[in-house]
Amino acid sequence: MVQFLLNGEPRSRVRLVSAVLAVVLAFSTVSVAAPRGKSKTVEVHVPELLLDGGRKLTFDRSLSSDRDVRTKRGFFTKVFEIVVGEPDFHFLVRPYGVVTDSHGRVIVTDPGARGVHIFDFAQQKYKFIERREKGKDAMLAPQCVTVDDQDNIYVTDSIAGKIFVFDAGGKYKRALGSIKGGEGYFKRPTGIAVDSAQQRIYVTDTLRNKVFVLDMQGEIVKTIGQTGQKPGEFNFPTELHLDGKNLLVVDAMNFRVQALDPSGQVEYTIGQIGDEIGGMFRPKGVAVDSEGHIYIVDGSQGLVQVFNREGQLLYYFGQKGTGFGEFRMPSGLHIDREDRVFIVDSYNRRVQIFRYHGLKPQPAKAGTP
């Protein structure tokens, strides 16, 4: 896993910092499920990324099927599997988006399987959501996913042109943007974010180069942006992420991420075109950790770059490959409240999970109020 720390240096010194090895690597041992057809786990050694001030990024685990959440099996279950063989597991086919809900369940969209996987580690349960009813809001290519404060699940469908809504149990509720004749209103909906406090749904329509703002019933409140390269304009916008009051928009073909305030005005911009570290060539998922660092997946380079709000590259991790800590066309990205970093490693058919360890609170000095 390639990585380095900039320690606040500008982009022009990337090569220098890389050359002097400003990052120290340590190794951790992690148990992961063995390949299909084997019942034992294997030990893998994944390098940790040690950062300044005691911060670090560690590898947690990899998720590729429902087997990964069913780690505890009773004696009779094991005997049954010996006699009749292991059950057929549900593997990720071509995963794209990821989010977690308030219960820590991992929800992954999979356009390759035309459905949504729900992995519940706490309950060791798995569920697959699909809609294949012909002519009645069939789900064709689930793309990005988010949840509201009630754990309702919102899924964009880039081919159907709709937003599918399911309750926390995975039961279908409705399709937003479904119009007469079964067609979808949106040309290509991709990114989605829900602001439950303000009762607003944000969705990018990539082919229209706009962000649509909807109420919770799916009615259009307003649109943001138009085609162009200026601040507030878009060229194939894709993923979205709400960071407090700011909406982060991956402006893919302008090779940047724009942060918009509630009125749609640009607060700041991160990124520029480039296939070297610090540049962007195929930006995908975006998320923010507990310290306000902004993580951006680059699908083409097979890595994740981390910036501050001034657009300065802090560090990066990953490279092209099939090993743990390596990626093949990564896409979706999500960071939960515990600073677990979920990265959809699409062409490796898995979700890799890391954990960011930020600065620890310092004890108060004597006499300090």
pLDDT at 11: 39
pLDDT for 141 beyond 80: yes
Question: By the 8 A CB rule, do 96 and 143 touch?
Answer: yes
Per residue in 255-273, pLDDT (tens digit) is 999 999 999 999 999 999 9
Residue 103 confidence class, pLDDT cut points 50, 70, 90: very high
Mean pLDDT of 128-150: 92
Mean pLDDT, range 275-294, rounded to an integer: 94
Here the contacts of 172-180 (C-beta below 8 Å, separation 24 or greater) are 172/129, 172/131, 174/218, 175/137, 176/201, 176/214, 176/218, 177/218, 178/137
Measure Cα distances from 172 to 41, 116, 127, 251, 338 in Å: 36, 12, 13, 31, 29
Distance CA 185, CA 157 (A): 11
Residue 79 has a CB neighbour count (10 Å cut-off) of 10
d(CA 262, CA 97): 24
Return the percentage of the chain with pLDDT > 70, whole number. Answer: 80
Do residues 270 and 311 make contact, with C-beta atoms less than 8 angstroms apart? Answer: yes
Q: Residue with structure tokens 């148990």?
A: 31
Which of 75-79, 136-140, 155-159, 162-166 is the least confident region? 75-79
Q: Is 311 left (phi over 0), alpha (psi -120 to 50) or beta?
A: left
Instruction: Judge whether residue 38 has pLDDT over 80.
Output: no
Q: Which CATH architecture has domain 3-357?
A: 6 Propeller (2.120)
In this predicted structure, the answer to whether residue 9 has a pLDDT above a threshold of 90 is no
- At 359, the pLDDT band (50, 70, 90 cuts) reads confident
The conformation of residue 18, written as its DSSP 8-state character, comes to H
Condensed to tens digits (0 to 9), the pLDDT of residues 73-95 reads 555 444 444 554 455 789 999 99
Task: Inform me whether the pLDDT recorded for 34 exceeds 70.
Answer: no
* pLDDT in the model for residue 343: 98
Cα 358 to chain centroid, rounded: 19
Q: Is the pLDDT of residue 99 over 80?
A: yes
Q: pLDDT (tens digit, 9 = 90+) per residue, 214-254?
A: 999 999 999 999 999 999 999 999 999 999 999 999 999 99
Whole-structure pTM value: 0.87
24 or 302, higher pLDDT: 302
Average pLDDT of the chain is 86
**Which tens digits make up the pLDDT trace of 287-329?**
999 999 999 999 999 999 999 999 999 999 999 999 999 999 9
What are the structure tokens assigned to 297, written together?
Answer: 């997946």
Q: Phi and psi at residue 63, in whole multiples of 5°?
A: -125, 120
Per-residue b or e along 84-117, where b marks 16 or more CB atoms closer than 10 Å to that residue's CB: eeeeeebbbebbbbbbbbeeebbbbbbbbbbbbb
